[in-house]
Structure formats: structure tokens, C-alpha cells
Amino acid sequence: MTRRQFLGIAAASIPAGLPSSTPGAEGAGQVPHRVLGRTGERVSAIGLGGFHIGKPELREPDSVRLIRAAIDGGITFLDNCWDYNGGQSEVRMGKALRDGYRQRAFLMTKIDGRDRNTAARQIEESLRRLETDRVDLLQFHEIIRMDDPERIFAAGGAMEATSVSPGTRAPRST
């Protein structure tokens, strides 16, 4: 499947006109928004995933244009991961979020470090590549081994890397 075919299918799957009575709809033809868990944050009911935007066959300017078009169209939830395409997905998303686009997006990324030092390094790399001082949601990626939760929450585990210094924005629980 080509990118053009994928985008055509994706665009066709988005309703052209949502009735204004649709819960969470901002008006006819706009992307509906929902409250994300218990955070109180309103985000678009559909999001833009970051994996495909860093693929080598998609040119960087096209990635930036795609992300900005999604935000301009009402999609506010952006998903990424520090290791998608060797970090290129975050680099491209960071470029797309320049010029005021960051303020219009709910930015989420994932890390897969299980110890404090690895997780801290991955968080710093993500923030640098995304060209931001914060993400709105951080997730631990690929919790697939039985001992992953224990490693993350243990003393010296990755959860310690998510601590917030006094005076900075604290993470929200979901």
C-alpha cells in the first residue's frame, strides 16, 4: 500500500459532518474531543501516531505538513516514542510543533527504559528531539515481560526518572 492510498483510506474513514448533538463534537464537520481519563484534559477522539512520520520513504517536509494539517484539522492528540525510526519520528514531530503548533497539541511519547538512568536519558532525548520542555503524557512502552512493572516501580526503577522538581508542572495520573 502506498502512502497516498493509506491517506485516502484514512481520510475517507473520518466522518465528513458530525451532527452538533454528537457528544464531544465541537460543531458540524469538526473532530470530536473527549476528556482523557481522569486528567480533565480534552483531546481529540482520534490522534496522530508518530511511527509512520519518521519512515525514510516519507520525506521530512511531508511529515511536517501532515502533522500540521492534522492539528489544523482539529486533531490534538499526538503519539510518539523515543525509539520510533531511530528517533526520527520525534525529530520530525518537533519540527512540526514549531511556530505555535506545540501550544495547540496534547503531546504524548513513550520510553522503554526500565531503570532510572536509562529512563532519564530517554526522557531527555525525547524532550530535545521534540523541541519542548515537557510532554503532556509519558508512557512506558512495551510492558510485555512479567517483571516489567516490578522493574519500573522498584527502587532505582524507571518511575524515579519521572519525578518532577519543585516549581515544575507535575505529571497527572490517568
CATH topology of domain 32-162: TIM Barrel (3.20.20)
Instruction: Report how far residue 25's alpha carbon sits from residue 3's, in angstroms, rounded to the nearest whole number.
Output: 28
* Closest CA relative to residue 88, chosen from 143, 125, 141: 125
Q: What is the per-residue pLDDT across 4-21, written as a single tens digit (0 to 9) for each?
A: 655 554 554 444 443 333
- Is the whole-model pTM more than 0.85? no
Residue 58 and residue 52 in contact, taking contact as beta carbons nearer than 8 Å: yes
* H/E segment holding residue 129: helix 116-129
| Domains in the chain: boundaries | 32-162
Q: Quick one: what percent of the chain has pLDDT higher than 90?
A: 62
pLDDT at 30 over 70: yes
Parallel, antiparallel, or unpaired for β 47-49 and 137-140?
Answer: unpaired
Q: Known catalytic residues?
A: 84
